[in-house]
Amino acid sequence: RDGRGQIRPYTPTRVGEASQRETTNWALVLMDALRHGRFRIFFQRMQSLDAGGPLRVEVLVRLWDPVRGELIAPGQFIALAERFHLIGEIDRWMLGEVLSLIGRHPELQLQLGQVTLNLSAVSLREPGLAQQVLASIAQHGVRPDLLCFEITETQAIGNLAQAREFMQTLHDAGCRFSLDDFGSGYASFAYLRELPFDTLKIDGLFVRDMQTEPTHQAMVRSMVDMARLLDKPVVAEFVETASVAQLLRELGVQWGQGYYFHQPEPLTFDALQQQARLAQ
Ligand code: C2E
Ligand code: CA
Ligand code: CA
Ligand code: CA
């Protein structure tokens, strides 16, 4: 807070650079945002590169900054939310909002193939989360198999046994799991061995410039090979050009996601309908 007793504007500082004061400021900003409903939901379509099929989307959180009148990208605050143990509340809020939208528009359950939500590895540590998620799904009358949880590896999954139990519970109910940022995380191989992932999502940093960076292309190829051996579909993110999309298709990648197909936009019923038409 500044001298006038107001919350200072959000500082565009990344976690590593944030001073103690800025960090404390962010904690207040995030708690305030949760209390006053300042998070927003965007979504981005995943494009089938082979067979087509019903619409799949990933939902992405944003933070509304009322002082500057603009949205703040999650890269600015997710790591801090994890540090302050606020990420669980943010992830649960996202889930509740998404379920409520689908619950209000039952026709979406017929149009949608899958909705993917990001779940921080930190959220997985919260006891009782699986039961809360299941209760929330049931409360809104949503088909559990519509939901996929993408586990983001911003922090190592601390307790594999706990994570496995969480995933198994939701898996048994029909939910899907995807390993986000495959290839760049802390311990992707251990996760693959120990945890029931259905899909692998190749880190976009390798995908984006795979045409001009032979090393990145080699990494993508080896990840695709591994996924094939494990019999798991692959999503490639950060597809920004037609030529990368074509290259991925030739490699046998099933799903592409990126600005080339769809820029993330606010999640509304109408926007979903429009993307559902494009997905066919
Ligand atoms: P992510 O899950 O790897 O999401 C992909 C990010 O890449 C998104 O940024 C998306 O807007 C961006 N992107 C999409 N297409 C392209 C492209 O073609 N090129 C490039 N350069 N970027 C593209 P965003 O929305 O800023 O999200 C950043 C990260 O924040 C996410 O990375 C995810 O780790 C985290 N995050 C977002 N929403 C949530 C959430 O609700 N809960 C949790 N725990 N984490 C979230
Ligand atoms: Ca993701
Ligand atoms: Ca990712
Ligand atoms: Ca990421």
> Which class for 102: exposed (0-12), middle (13-18), buried (19 or more C-beta within 10 A)?
buried
Q: Which of 55-64, 115-124, 131-140 has the lowest mean pLDDT?
A: 115-124
Q: Is the CB of 217 under 6 A from ligand 1?
A: no
What is the overall mean pLDDT for the chain? 90
123 closest CA partner among 143, 145, 149, 148: 149
**Residue 18 binned pLDDT confidence (cut-offs 50, 70, 90):** low
pLDDT of residue 1: 37
Q: Is the CB of 116 under 6 A from ligand 1?
A: no
Global pTM? Answer: 0.92
Q: Which residues pair with 255 in a beta bridge?
A: 48, 235
Ligand 3 is an ion; its neighbours by CB within 5 Å are: 180-181
pLDDT of residue 134: 97
pLDDT of residue 227: 94
pLDDT tens for each residue of 179-226: 998 888 666 777 888 899 999 999 999 999 999 999 999 999 999 999
Rounded to 10 degrees, what is the CA torsion of 116, 152, 201, 138? -20
Ligand 1 atom nearest to CA at 264 = 11
Residues ≥6 apart with Cβ < 8 Å to 116: 46, 56, 57, 58, 59, 147, 148, 149, 150, 178
